[in-house]
Amino acid sequence: MANGWAQDGAVHAQIEDSVKDEIMRVRKQRPCGESLEFCEECGAPIPEGRRRAVPGVRLCVACQEKADKESHAAELYNRRGSKDSQLR
């Protein structure tokens, strides 16, 4: 398959880089340490089940959903994509 001026394996390398970037982003956002009893954003109590399920949790479910939506808003474009992939 012809890829214009791209080197052999460039598409595969781009996919690998995108996957590695996403894995690093998720690992960086993963909570660590001791879970809080109260949300650090709104002060609402964090249920014990959530504290056990997610070690190091710092936000209640509502605040976590809001934070997730805000963090994904900036990642809606392909930074590594070729000109052709950005035009689709």
* Domain hosting residue 49, numbered range: 27-71
Rg (CA), the chain: 19
Token pair belonging to 68: 């997730």
Q: For the chain, what is the domain count? A: 1
Does the pTM surpass 0.95? The reply is no
Q: Tell me the pLDDT tens digit for each residue of 16-74.
A: 999 999 999 888 877 778 899 999 999 999 999 999 988 889 999 999 999 888 876 55
CB 78 within 8 A of CB 12: no
Above 70 in pLDDT, residue 76? no
CA dihedral 24, 30, 34, 37 (to 10 degrees): 160
